[in-house]
Chain A
Amino acid sequence: MSATDATPAKSAETPLLEIKNLQVGFQTQRGMVTAVNGVNITLMPGKTLAIVGESGSGKSTTAHAIINLLPGSGRITGGEVLFEGRNIAALDEGQMEKIRGRMIGFVPQDPMSNLNPVWSVGFQVEEAIRANGIATGKQDVKKRAIQVLSEAGLSDADKRLKQFPHQFSGGMRQRVLIGMGLSSNPKLLIADEPTSALDVTVQRRILDHLEKLTRESGTALVFITHDLGLAAERAEQLVVMYKGKVVESGPSREILQNPVHPYTQRLVAAAPSLASRRIQSASKPLEDLGYEATRVTEGVDLIAAAESRVDAHAAAATAPIAIAVKDLSKVYKIRGGKGSASTLNAVDGVSFEIPRGTTMALVGESGSGKSTVAKLLLRLEDSTSGEIRIDGTDTAPLKGKSLLALRRKMQPVFQDPYGSLDPLRNIGNTIAEPLGVFNVGDKKSRRARVDELLDQVALPKSLVTRYPNELSGGQRQRVAIARALALKPEIVILDEAVSALDVLVQAQILQLLSDLQAELGLTYLFITHDLAVVRVIADNVSVMKSGRIVEAATTDEVFGNPREEYTKELLDAIPGANIPLGV
């Protein structure tokens, strides 16, 4: 994948894809809004290119414009999309149908919503094969469908043809979508954040596979992502987009090591995958790593946050234990067919201790039981057996007032900032609600406390009268944190609190959490599937698999010297972990 083994390009060779001064606009009530403004991209046959940017940067819109599938009122308002020298932006619908699938394959973003739930997986792959004339005749089409699905890494493809999308996991669905995109041997494959909805280990496996497939077939790849680390690891060329414009483009490694545009510099600084990589090499002076440029950029400095954590950690060794969990188990009964019932040990003999003022990260893939631990701690569900002590008090027998007191001491922040705020309540009322529930202060002092909290989470006071739908994802998550802090809790349980956010916003929230901890002496239980952010925020790490803790140690130990095979796998899966740093 390195740039050196590239065949010397003949000067006469036409690029496979050449986008010239592309403009895309969306018709709104206030007139045309430009989403993509003057994008230029050149891609040679068989090469890989990544478009990087935050949500709203126009990267997906650019991808959709290439195959002329812009959503809603979107139109190409200017420029050209040359595919093998032919302007496909000017083609009519019938001609475009022949390009899609056969010439340009597409792998969409969200595996959950991109397969039609009412048709079997086989049907949906077969119709693509038939439409593009790759095979005719029932048996041939079926054979080809099995072949593409097996190539995409789906085991037992022949048996799975008759199954429906809801019987597949997210990773399996993504493999189906990749198989579909490649089913007609296109010359170009556009992959729009093909794995951002998946667990890191699954993500890694799927991307490895995608890379192998495109390399073997000589398919050129346009890869769209918000994670610079991932982009740099997977593509030879990078295009960084910001507010509808290309702000920087060139070979991946060059951009990563020497970002010129301030926005790219911020992206490099914020990418948790890269930050954790940098910290990992912290035994060497940071200046040697070739990343010093990123340290001085405005805003977020994840390395500094992690460094100050090391100092705080030394002091924490003597701190009293805030959360002590011993042999915690939770068994769910699952109703099977014909009245038979089986059990699921969601949490199986989990023990850990978190000293006051420190952060423990609970890491694992979806289904590992980490969120169930959070629910048990918060007493949103009762444990089957085991013991939870908060500041030495067993929480299981607590009822009524004493349970309320516990809740006051321990506040949650959940993953989805869109779902965890009441859309009918303004921000001021949302943050003040816990104060009302616990009858803290009068109306005036509550107002003052809301202002103070908004200040703490770095939001303007003017937001008080706004509603959640008027806020960005990052702002909403800040509001959720402010609400959690309203009652001055000692413990905050963060269940995937940054997983749904863009990298830049994610970095800001991590910074905020870090600052708040230093300021207020908070104890965090930080639940995540992404080891990259753990490095930045946590003192201790417990790795969960199938309801059990398989490895527990300090963050340095886990990253520097992982004992379990599973932990190593998780670490390897951090995108960008294998980028040659040139140190």
Chain B
Amino acid sequence: MTGYIFRRVLQAIPVFFGTTFLIYFMVFAMPGDPVLALFGDKTPSPAVIEQLRQQYHLDQPFIVQYFIYIGGIFRGDLGVSFSGQPVADILARTFPVTIRLAILALLFETVAGILVGLISGLRKGKLFDASALTISLILISLPIFVIAFVAQFVFGVQLGWARTTVGPGAPIQDLVLPALVLASISFAQIVRLTRSSVIETSGLDFVRTAYSKGLSRKRIIPVHILRNSLIPVITYLATDFGVLLVGATVTEGIFNVPGVGNTLYQAIIRGEGPTVVSFVTVMVLLYLVVNLVVDLLYGLLDPRIRFVK
């Protein structure tokens, strides 16, 4: 088990170098001069431009820039954004907000998604099932920004249940509506996945055997049907975390959440190499950690894939 975790952590090393290199290269290859873009319509003096270029190592060849950046990371220095703030500070300020948002969304989509999916699967073809299928289809078909605007308008403006934008410090109560929006598509996917999985499991031989042993339906549903049905759902959750982070960029923009998505979007527009790379790298590492946790969870649910001791 510990050996397995160790191997997985080792695997993260090439992924770290690969992603940072690729992203650094992409930012470098973006058209436009980031220094000139900084000044907008004004024309700065050549001396200032030269000074800025040197400060951000923009006068060096790409590969040198990359290694200067990587070297910085190992000294604990993630570089400085164009606005003069250390990237590490921006990370520390924005990540907690986004993680709070993501966890809230994850909580909602798993709990509600599995519950609705389970009931749907057990009542296949009934009214509840048909409604759940229709609603989930609508949610899957709509782009997230449409859902976001509609939710903002209905719950924020018309009903006044929630604030349309998130206030400073991003308190939890303000994050509920963005989290629901963020979770909506994954929620619909989980409903459908759980439903079909429950239907499939219900027809398996061991469920009939469980009934033949004299067990009640009340016991069979959670113990023999739900647990087995969760295995594909857990697999989905692992890949879904990435979708959640991407979705966060859009949702944060609409609800004005001071999180990673918003900041990253601004940094990409400005071509701030160090900021973009640092943010994406942290996201990638987070993604790897979540996947590792999900894989361990997977082994917990299904003894057949428990790891070689």
Contacts and interface: CB of A to CB of B under 8 A. Distances in A.
Interface size classification for chain B = 20 to 34
Nearest to B210: A116
Interface string A129-156: 0011000000000000000000000000
A117 B212 contact: no
A118 B213 contact: no
Given A69-B212, A128-B215, 5 more contacts: A108-B208, A110-B205, A119-B223, A119-B224, A181-B212
Interface in B189-217: 203-206, 208-217
Contact of A101 (B206, B213, B219, B301): B213
Contacts of B302: 117-118
Contacts of A118: 227-228, 231, 301-304
A132 B206 contact: no
Which of B215, B216, B224 is packed against the most chain A CB atoms within 10 Å?
A: B215
B214 A177 contact: no
Nearest to A94: B216
Contacts of A99: 214
A100 B304 contact: no
A118 B304 CA distance: 7
A337 B308 CA distance: 6
A64 B211 CA distance: 11
Given A116-B228, A117-B302, A128 B214 contact: yes
Given A100-B214, A106-B212, A110-B205, A117 B303 contact: yes
B102 to A, nearest CB: 28
Contacts of A101: 212-215
A564 interface: no
Contact of A164 (B204, B231, B304): B304
A298 to B, nearest CB: 37
B309 interface: yes
A62 interface: no
A102 interface: yes
A97 B214 contact: yes
28 contacts: A69-B212, A72-B203, A93-B217, A97-B214, A97-B215, A97-B216, A100-B211, A100-B214, A101-B215, A105-B212, A106-B209, A106-B212, A108-B212, A117-B228, A117-B304, A118-B228, A118-B302, A118-B303, A127-B213, A127-B215, A127-B223, A128-B214, A131-B213, A132-B213, A164-B303, A164-B304, A166-B303, A181-B212
A98 interface: yes
Nearest to A123: B223
Interface in A71-124: 71-72, 93-94, 97-102, 105-106, 108-110, 113-120
Contacts of B215: 97, 101, 127-128, 131
A383 to B, nearest CB: 29
B205 A108 contact: yes
A94 B214 CA distance: 10
A184 interface: yes
A117 B205 CA distance: 11
Nearest to B225: A116
Contacts of A97: 214-216
Contact of B203 (A71, A93, A108, A115): A71
B204 A113 contact: yes
B206 A115 contact: yes
The 6 closest A-B pairs by CB, nearest first: A101-B214, A106-B212, A128-B213, A113-B205, A100-B214, A164-B303
Contact of B214 (A102, A108, A116, A117): A102
A67 interface: yes
A183 B214 CA distance: 11
Contacts of B227: 118
A115 B231 CA distance: 17
B299 to A, nearest CB: 11
A180 interface: yes
Contacts of B219: 127, 131
Given A102-B214, A128-B214, A184-B214, A177 B209 contact: yes
Which of B206, B214, B302, B303 is packed against the most chain A CB atoms within 10 Å?
A: B214
Nearest to A186: B214
B206 A71 contact: no
Contacts of A109: 205
B211 A69 contact: yes
Contacts of A67: 212
B44 to A, nearest CB: 61
B308 to A, nearest CB: 5
Contact of A166 (B205, B209, B231, B304): B304
Which of A71, A114, A116 is packed against the most chain B CB atoms within 10 Å?
A: A116
Contacts of B217: 93
Nearest to A120: B303
Contacts of A98: 214
Interface string A2-21: 00000000000000000000
Given A116-B228, A127-B223, A100 B208 contact: no
Contacts of B204: 113
Contacts of B209: 106, 108, 114-115, 177, 180
A175 B223 CA distance: 22
A97 B211 CA distance: 8
A146 to B, nearest CB: 17
B226 to A, nearest CB: 11
Nearest to B300: A118
Nearest to B306: A164
Which of B217, B301, B304 is packed against the most chain A CB atoms within 10 Å?
A: B304
A462 B304 CA distance: 46
Which of B204, B212, B217, B223 is packed against the most chain A CB atoms within 10 Å?
A: B212
Nearest to A98: B214
Interface string B66-103: 00000000000000000000000000000000000000
Nearest to B215: A131
A184 B227 CA distance: 26
Given A128-B213, A128-B214, A337-B309, A71 B303 contact: no
Nearest to B303: A164
Nearest to A190: B212
Nearest to A117: B304
Contact of B216 (A110, A114, A131, A166): A131
Which of B209, B227, B302 is packed against the most chain A CB atoms within 10 Å?
A: B209
